[in-house]
Amino acid sequence: MGVRVKAYAKLNLTLAITGAENGYHSLDSLVCTVDLFDLIKLKKRKDNLVNIEMHGQGTESLAYEDNNAVKAAQAYINKFGTGGADIKIFKNIPVGAGMGGSSADISGVLRGMAMLYGKGGERDLKALADSLGSDTGYLLYGGFARLTGRGEKIERLESGLRLNFLLLLPSAGVSTAQCYRLYDELPKTAQSSQPAANALLKGDSAELGRNLFNALYLPATKLNGDVATAFEELEKFAPLGVNMTGSGSGVYALFDCPEMCDYAQSRYRGKCRCIRLKSYAPKIKES
């Protein structure tokens, strides 16, 4: 018996740092999933072991003991006393871009294991996901949401907006740990996710574009100058707004319609990889 799971990427529409405690930063972030996903295939094993194959985005050499998808499967097995799984992950989400690829795979593996073995409702999977990463609980179901705390507190938001993005990917990523450390050393500017959340709920994409921001943008640009270059290149197309996702290095522009996205993509002449994206809310049955 086997199952297939799509693990969707996310973009941060806003990212405010609201404090720090015990070595962790607390945040307030408006997020959405997009129509880019890793495909995860799982099959039952007769023993309780986990075997994994990685394909794409340079993940083939990822060490078994460092693979968060393996840790997710092992955590599920330990929690519910099930058998193991043979797992294949076909990576499409760029690594080191701030799109939650590792967290998406954790969440996808947990959902896949629950489908395989029929154990674990939303609350159980959420608790497991939260123990494995900051935004993994959110990525179990995705959609529009506002995340607070370390990302484990989720306020799901309903919006009829279908957002159109053009994403630029610099060739090098940004270290999340280094980005947060540098953030702590730099001057701070108070910003709020509330205006963007209000715009989303009203269905006003222009107002949303005016209120995109990321508190980690400045430290990310100091660690990787291509982030600032990508930002400037996208601004030339007069989008509704430009922003960085996560701790970088991915930078995206929000456009009013797909045609404007097409136009910008066709005329982009920079050195970054260029991807068109749309916001996407996976239709996943919660139990």
The catalytic residues are 10, 135
Residue 236 CA, chain-centre distance (Å), reads 26
Biggest distance spanned by C-alpha atoms of the chain: 57
- Pairing relationship of beta strands 50-55 and 85-90 according to DSSP bridges: parallel
Concatenating the DSSP letter of every residue in 88-128 gives EEE--SPTTSSS-HHHHHHHHHHHHHHHHH----HHHHHHH
Residue 97 CA, chain-centre distance (Å), reads 9
DSSP 269: -
Location of structure tokens 């760029």: 94
> What amino acid occupies position 7?
A
Residue 119 CA, chain-centre distance (Å), reads 26
Query: What is the rounded distance in angstroms from the CA atom of residue 193 to the CA atom of residue 146?
Result: 8
Do residues 152 and 29 make contact, with C-beta atoms less than 8 angstroms apart? no
Q: How many residues does the chain have?
A: 287
- Pairing relationship of beta strands 145-149 and 164-169 according to DSSP bridges: unpaired
Residue 257, judged by CB atoms within 10 A of its CB (0-12, 13-18, 19+), counts as: exposed
